[in-house]
Structure 1
Amino acid sequence: MPPSADPIDPADSLDSPSSPDSPDSAALADPRSFDRFARDYDRFVTLLPGGNTSWLLGLAPGGGRALDAGCGSGHAALALADCYEEVVGVDLSPSLIALAEATRAHPRVRYLARDLFDLADSDGFDLVYSHTVLHHLDDCRAGLEHLKRLVRPGGTVALVDNVCDRYPTPPRRAYTWPAVWNFPRELCRLGPRDAWFQLRFWHSRSWLDHLLSDRYLSRAGFRALYGSVFPGARFDDLGFALAMTWTAPEPSAPGM
């Protein structure tokens, strides 16, 4: 097989708009927008081992208020509802928020279709969480500083984002070839219907266009940037991503 060839013809894709409501034309034209493939993306995330929440739940969170910044269709927000008294899920995509409200409603979860930078909350949060969202921002540092302002004293900021040491935007074969190599294993794990859907999603034009619009930090760049905003943070290497946890300092007692 030539190095530039894809193992599966991208024309064999899921590419019809699949959101529960009608995205506007600007969202459909922007490769970064999840409105272009919201329903398929929701199904794709559902099929991931751990549903994208295994690292988060390993932090043993609990109590108070939690924010899921870039909540998508609500997988992590719903999981957090088992541990927190109130969860706010915020996402820029109205289509993903509509899916979250339709499929992952919970009395302790409130979903907002809103730009992260428009979120202001004077009460603050005991947990501020974001998963593979911040690389979409034009100004990542501004996003980090905004999230820092939303955490309560003594609260936790837990952030995960994709990293790549070789290039800021991996080529399409970095996604399509592993999907083919892993297909036999996924067939055993998921069964034929879901494994075939997953393989086709990895090769769909909308998803590949989205991935090829991403720009990732290197591991060193991630640690440098995140560590400059959150001094003393802990970093965990998750393979495809780095995770950061940071505890907001408590205010000093008067006279100290």
Structure 2
Amino acid sequence: MTRDPAPNPHATEEQVQAAYQDPKLANVLYHDWEADTYDEKWSISYDQRCIDYAVDRFRVATGGTGPYPTALELGCGTGFFLLNLMQGGVIERGSVTDLSPGMVEVAKRNAKSLGLDVDGRVSDAERIPYDDNSFDIVVGHAVLHHIPDVPAAMREVLRVLKPGGRFVFAGDPTRVGDLYARKLGQLTWWLTTNVTKLSPLSAWRRPQEELDESSRAAALEAVVDLHTFDPAKLEGMALGAGAVDVRAVTEEFSAALFGWPVRTFEAAVPREKLGFGWGMFAYRTWQRLAKFDQDVLSKVLPRDLFYNVLVTGSKPADPERL
């Protein structure tokens, strides 16, 4: 077996400049750089809060919760989706892949600390390094929008699935949702970083070097985010790859309108200024709004207006249909 490359969390200026012309290199550099702090940045945990979140996303997409004996997480990041699904009893044994060596390393480390049976490989989503018919399910969270050729990745997903196996991808941005989330984030960043220049609020301003680092990260993040999705077109990609029983659903409208400014504000002020009380307020408010979106707004608003899209489908039980 070819040895996986080592993480590179300290890219050179030359590498960063090259990444602006190479989205796969940008993904490797950005996610290697983020790997050790990614869970903290996105409030990812492996306790009941995130177990419930992951299992609920799976249930929203599929209507069920398994269990599935073997699973692959594509573009695993730190293992958030797979590891919490395993803890929630949806998946029994798992494998992870990511283009970023740093992310694969952290995902495997997280799995080990949780006592979960997980192996990992550094790989391109368009060339998955596992044999045909290997997995009962393939999952991914916030990954499809990073992949240059999504239809090719879908074909690979179907190749490694067993006949009748299922895929579930969650957490990718819709075209409309991404538009308002980015605008809200940009406005919140501008307001917060400028208001905290005022003397009475200077204690709320993060050190300039940290703000500069965040700005550089945001600039590279714009390179790694390659797609937004119309739900119907995403369904078409999956069907075109040969999937059956395909369905896309969306979620988070009021929750996204609240969540993106909050998340941006948190990134723009010193962490020590926001304590446990703030964290619980932000999480519980987002949680209530997400439930309102699901129970009420999803019944009256077009699905294209919501921020997140989830898509699921299956490999035909008859391989000849692929």
Asked if Structure 1 and Structure 2 have the same fold, meaning a TM-score greater than 0.5 normalized by the shorter chain, the answer is: yes
Alignment of 1:80-159 (within 5 A): 80-82=85-87, 83=89, 84-105=91-112, 106-116=115-125, 117-159=127-169
Give the secondary-structure state (helix, strand or coil) at the position aligned to 2:27: coil
| Closer, same or farther: CA 213–78 of 1 in aligned 2, 3 Å | closer
Q: 2:60 aligned with 1:55, yes or no?
A: no
Give the secondary-structure state (helix, strand or coil) at the position aligned to 1:216: coil
Query: How far apart, CA to CA, are the structure 2 residues paired with 1:55 and 1:222?
Result: 17
Query: How far apart, CA to CA, are the structure 1 residues paired with 2:140 and 2:212?
Result: 23
Give the secondary-structure state (helix, strand or coil) at the position aligned to 1:60: coil
Range with bigger deviation, 101-110 or 23-32: 23-32
Q: 2:109 aligned with 1:42, yes or no?
A: no
Match of 1:71 in 2: 76
Is residue 78–residue 106 contact of structure 2 (8 Å, CA) maintained in 1? yes
Q: Deviations over 1:121-143 (max 9, x none)?
A: 24421111122212222211111
Structure 1: tracts of 5 or more residues without a match: 1-18, 182-195
Is residue 111–residue 117 contact of structure 2 (8 Å, CA) maintained in 1? no
Residue 106 of structure 2 aligns with an amino acid whose one-letter code is: L
| Closer, same or farther: CA 27–157 of 1 in aligned 2, 3 Å | farther
Q: 2:313 aligned with 1:246, yes or no?
A: yes
Query: How far apart, CA to CA, are the structure 2 residues paired with 1:64 and 1:27?
Result: 40
Give the secondary-structure state (helix, strand or coil) at the position aligned to 1:46: coil
Offset at residue 166 of structure 1 (A): 8.1
| Closer, same or farther: CA 22–44 of 1 in aligned 2, 3 Å | closer
Structure 2: tracts of 5 or more residues without a match: 1-5, 20-25, 192-205, 252-305
Identity %: 21
Match of 1:223 in 2: 235
Is residue 250–residue 308 contact of structure 2 (8 Å, CA) maintained in 1? yes
Is residue 250–residue 309 contact of structure 2 (8 Å, CA) maintained in 1? yes
Match of 1:16 in 2: none
Residue 110 of structure 1 aligns with an amino acid whose one-letter code is: D
TM-score by length of 2: 0.56
Q: 2:218 aligned with 1:211, yes or no?
A: no
Please provide the CA RMSD for this pair.
Answer: 3.7
Offset at residue 154 of structure 1 (A): 2.0
TM-score by length of 1: 0.69
Give the secondary-structure state (helix, strand or coil) at the position aligned to 1:148: helix
Q: Max radius of gyration: which structure?
A: 2
Q: Deviations over 1:18-59 (max 9, x none)?
A: x98645547655343311222232212334874762402654
Query: How far apart, CA to CA, are the structure 2 residues paired with 1:221 and 1:122?
Result: 26
